[in-house]
Amino acid sequence: MTATPATTKTDNEADAEATATEESAATDTAADTTPDTAAQEQDDDELGDDLPPASPVRTAIGAGAAAVVSGALGLASLTGTWTGKVLSERETLLGQIKTAQGGSASAQIHEIYADSWHTTAAVNGGFALLALLVGAFVLARPAFGAPDAQPQPGWVRAVALGGLVLGAIGLLLSVGMFFDLFATLPSTGS
């Protein structure tokens, strides 16, 4: 019967030795992979030195906003603005005040109507010029500075070009209106 406890003890010792061997093998495997991982990280670091540093993703929010502003300014130059209307009415009022004491019909036409029209043309021309400048800036911006991996989205260029065209048309109309090229002032017949 003494052989049975010795055999049991031997089985427990064998299990303990097997467990120790497995743990040792796991430790050796971990130790074996650590140098490989370190070598791989070193290779990655060496490859990373050749690559340019990561740049932040360009969102084109500013360019898109400027393009929309250019389009809105171009449209405002064609349709007129509240500012232009207020300044035009002010010129009309000033003309009425100047001619209230009397004056020739030609002077009244000039003071009351012509100055008002010219003020409207000048304000619309200012908006058109702003539309031209902002649209040109948005379209020319990618040509200056560091090259970008992501070019401007197509809609940004399209809206900026639309603002540029509307601004050019508005500027031509404003110049024509200011210099009375499209319609002359009524004459008094004298």
Q: Are 165 and 74 in contact (CB under 8 A)?
A: yes
Q: How far apart are CA 56 and CA 50, in angstroms?
A: 18
Q: How far apart are the first and last CA of the chain?
A: 147
Residue 79: the pLDDT is 96
> Positive or negative CA dihedral for 103, 105, 107, 113?
positive
Torsion on CA atoms 132, 137, 138, 139, rounded to nearest 10:
90
Domain boundaries, the chain: 1-48, 61-178
Low-confidence ranges of the chain (pLDDT < 70): 1-59, 190
CB atoms within 10 A of CB 129: 17
What is the distance of C-alpha 173 from the center of its chain? 29
pLDDT of 71-117, one tens digit each? 999 999 999 999 999 999 999 999 999 988 888 888 888 898 999 99
Token code pair at residue 81: 């603005």
Torsion on CA atoms 97, 117, 76, 135, rounded to nearest 10:
-120
Q: Are 123 and 81 in contact (CB under 8 A)?
A: yes
Q: 184: buried, middle or exposed (CB in 10 Å: 19+, 13-18, 0-12)? A: exposed
How far is residue 82 from each of residues 24, 85, 87, 89, 124, measured CA to CA in Å? 85, 5, 9, 11, 10
Q: Are 161 and 73 in contact (CB under 8 A)?
A: no
What is the distance of C-alpha 95 from the center of its chain? 44
Strand, coil or helix: what is 153?
Answer: coil
pTM of the model as a whole = 0.66
Mean pLDDT of the chain, nearest integer: 80
